[in-house]
Structures are given as C-alpha cells and as structure tokens.
Amino acid sequence: MSQLPKCPTCSSEYTYEDGEMFVCPECAHEWPIAAAESSAIVVRDAFGTELKAGDSITVIKDLKIKGSSSVVKTGVKIKIIRLVDGDHDIDCKIDGIGAMQLKSEFVKKA
C-alpha cells in the first residue's frame, strides 16, 4: 500500500486519490498528483548528511523533554526514524522514553 501525502492545507491524513488529483475529505482541498510527487521532503542532520526514513541516528546534544524532568542524553542511538513535515522533522521511538519528535539539527546519522 502506498503512502498518500497529507493535505497541504489542513494537514489531514485522510487524503484519497480521485483520478489525477488528491482530495482532502476534511477541507475539500484538491491538488494534482504530479505536484505532490515533486515535493519530496529532504532532511539533513547536523553535519549535512541526508536522512531517509528507516535510518538510524544518534543524538548529539542533551535534550530536555518539555513538560517532564526527563532528558535524552548525548549518544542515545535511535534505530528507526520516520521523516515528517514541520518544525520537528523526525518522528521516532526512544527506549525508556517513548514516542518523540526531534529536530534534525540535534542528531547525526549513525
């Protein structure tokens, strides 16, 4: 099953294909499939290496977790990442902490 893009207007995950267009059922926005294929996400780590979904990364700076007293320590290895659009461009799961979103400027490719 292919991964359909989120709606560029409202970020809804429930988009569907209708002929040559993607359609968002929540806001009724329509955009061509060709435009969605050309706008691939390019995420680079702190050293300029391009990251891809499924890569392993290492944290290069202690990161305080907002709303908690926990800290993600320098050197923590994260096995599988997912790239997302937005301010925090990496979705991952950290052992002992759980699901998190990270900024690519604080990690390096392992």
- State the residue for tokens 């050197």: 75
- DSSP label at 4? P
Contacts of 48 (CB under 8 A, 6+ apart): none
pLDDT recorded at residue 88: 92
pLDDT recorded at residue 1: 39
pLDDT recorded at residue 42: 83
pLDDT recorded at residue 33: 83
3-state secondary structure of 104: helix
pLDDT of the chain, 110 residues: tens digit per residue:
358 888 888 888 899 999 889 999 999 999 888 765 555 678 999 999 999 989 999 999 999 999 999 999 999 999 999 998 888 999 999 999 999 999 999 999 99
Integer-rounded Cα Rg, in Å, for the chain is 16
